[in-house]
Amino acid sequence: MNLIEITDLQAPELDIFSRMSEVQLYHYFEPEAGVFLAESANVILRALEAGYEPLSLLLEHQRIETEGLPVMEAIRERFGEEKAETLPIYTADHALVTQLTGYSLVRGLWAVMRRRPLPELEDFCADKNRIAVLFDVVNPTNVGAIIRSAAALGVDGVLLTKGSVDPLTRRSARVSMGTVFQIPWTCADRLQSTGTRLITDLHSLGFRTAAMALSDRSTGVDDPALASEERLAIVLGSEGYGLPREVIDACTYTVKIPMYHGVDSLNVAAASAVVFWELGRRSLEAP
């Protein structure tokens, strides 16, 4: 392993781990796709399995044997011996790494990884029957949790609008338990397809759309008509305001989850898990 002992916390090669914002990382190789930081061995291993290229690591001394070696073995298997032997691995004890980053790392291991180009909408939708659409979901924890539920409960892919959090932000990827690297996703800001235009584009690609919202015309999530749709996009709104009225009106269905004790709604991540599970269960039961 190409271990490089950290002696100067201000060294420019460490900027990427501690002094660059998510936006700066995103545009790191502009106009080409940038980089992201993956935290913890579990997340990094899933990214490697999906073919994301590591550019450097930051690793606590105490984690070399437990987290570092399995990651390096995965890099060797996926990218070859030369990559594994030359990849820069910056290392220091826990206290110094914490001082560098400002807080304790998750299991003491980060990887800088190169992003990949995102697919166009038509290519993304081509082989999918069930997708989730995240409409301006801004909380990285919610985005990570929704993607994890989508992967676990049989959704084929996730489409995010321009205002939604990037799934490769550190917290989203970590909360997703690395499933951001297992389930296909793309972002509408690169597709120039937002708002009602996005709904119209999905309809033109053969999808029916289900807006998760409370309204007078809402149907229950257990409506068998939903499960019988051959291609369905489940549209989930922002944490504070839900879906815009024009987006709800443009969708084929408006869907709600029955509530009790005067509660009017669930957190968007919890709601996504309920609807994904219900539609998946009913699809299996459909003749």
Alpha-carbon torsion (85, 44, 4, 115), positive or negative? positive
The Cα 283–Cα 287 span in angstroms is 9
Domain final residue pick, 96, 114, 132: 114
Taking 70 as the threshold, does the pLDDT of residue 194 lie above it? no
Are residues 238 and 159 part of one domain? yes
| Same domain membership, residue 49 and residue 22 | yes
In this structure, are 264 and 137 located in the same domain? yes
Last residue of a domain, one of 114, 146, 169: 114
The confidence score (pLDDT) of residue 196 equals 87
Residue 22 identity (one-letter amino acid): E
Q: Residues 218, 93: one domain?
A: no
Length of the chain: 287
Please report, for the domain that includes residue 239, its CATH number. 3.40.1280.10
Identify the CATH number of the domain in which residue 41 sits. 3.30.1330.30
Reported as a single tens digit per residue, the pLDDT across 146-183 is: 999 999 999 999 999 988 999 999 899 989 999 999 99
**Token representation of residue 206:** 């053969």
Residues 98 and 137 both lie in one domain? no
pLDDT surpasses 70 at 6? yes
**158 and 246 assigned to the same domain:** yes
Structure-token pair, residue 110:
């980060």
Residues 56 and 180 in one domain: no
57-to-42, 83, 93, 111, 163 alpha-carbon distances in Å: 14, 12, 14, 4, 30
* pLDDT score of 73: 96
Are 133 and 68 within one domain? no
Phi/psi for 77 (5° steps) reads -70, -35
Same domain, 147 and 229: yes
pLDDT-derived band at 189 (thresholds 50, 70, 90) equals low
80 shares its domain with 142: no
Please state the domain count of the chain: 2
Exposed / middle / buried, residue 186 (Cβ in 10 Å: 0-12, 13-18, 19+): buried
Least-confidence region, from 58-62, 100-104, 119-123, 178-182: 100-104
Model confidence at 190, pLDDT cuts 50, 70, 90, reads low
Mean pLDDT of 47-65: 94
Who has greater pLDDT, 189 or 279? 279
CA distance 128 to 231: 7
Whether residue 135 is found in the same domain as residue 58: no
Domain-terminating residue out of 65, 89, 114: 114
Distance separating alpha carbons of residues 253 and 123, to the nearest angstrom = 24
Q: How far apart are the C-alpha atoms of 22 and 143, rounded to whole Å?
A: 15
Q: Residue 198: is its pLDDT beyond 70?
A: yes
- To 5 degrees, how large is the angle CA 41–CA 146–CA 259? 140
Domain span holding position 62: 2-114
> Are residues 119 and 73 in contact, defined by beta-carbon separation less than 8 angstroms?
no
What digits encode the pLDDT tens for the residues 231-241? 999 999 988 78
Shared domain for 189 and 57, answered yes or no, is: no
- Phi and psi at residue 83, to the nearest 5°: -60, -45
